[in-house]
Amino acid sequence: MTWLRAPGPDDDKRSMGVLGVVTGSVRYPGAAVLGVEAAWRTGVGTVRLWAPRRVQDLVLARRPETVCHALDEPPEGVDAWVLGSGQDARERDEALRALLRACLGGGRPAVVDAGALDLVPGHEGPAVVTPHEGELARILGRERDALGDRDAAAGEAARALDAIVVAKGVPTFVATPAGALTTVHPPTHRLATAGTGDVLAGVLGAVVAGSAREAADPGALASMAALAVRLHGAAAALAAQGGRSVTALDVAERLPEAVAAARAD
Q: Is 174 exposed, middle or buried (0-12, 13-18, 19+ CB in 10 A)?
A: buried
DSSP state of 7: P
Q: Annotation-wise, does 198 bind a ligand? A: yes
Alpha helices by DSSP H, the chain: 30-42, 53-62, 94-104, 133-139, 150-161, 196-210, 218-239, 248-253, 255-264
Does 172 count as an annotated binding residue?
yes
**Is 105 marked within a binding site?**
no
Is residue 149 classed exposed, middle or buried when 0-12, 13-18 and 19+ CB atoms within 10 A define those classes?
exposed
**Annotated binding-site residue? 169:** yes
Residue 31 among known ligand-binding residues? yes
Quick check: 70 and 55 in contact, CB under 8 A? Answer: no
Which residue type, as a one-letter code, is found at position 128?
V
86 is in an annotated binding site: yes
132 is in an annotated binding site: yes
33 marked among binding-site residues: no
Binding residues: 31, 86, 132, 168-172, 197-198
Binding residues for AMP: 168-172, 197
Binding residues for (6S)-NADPHX: 31, 86, 132, 198
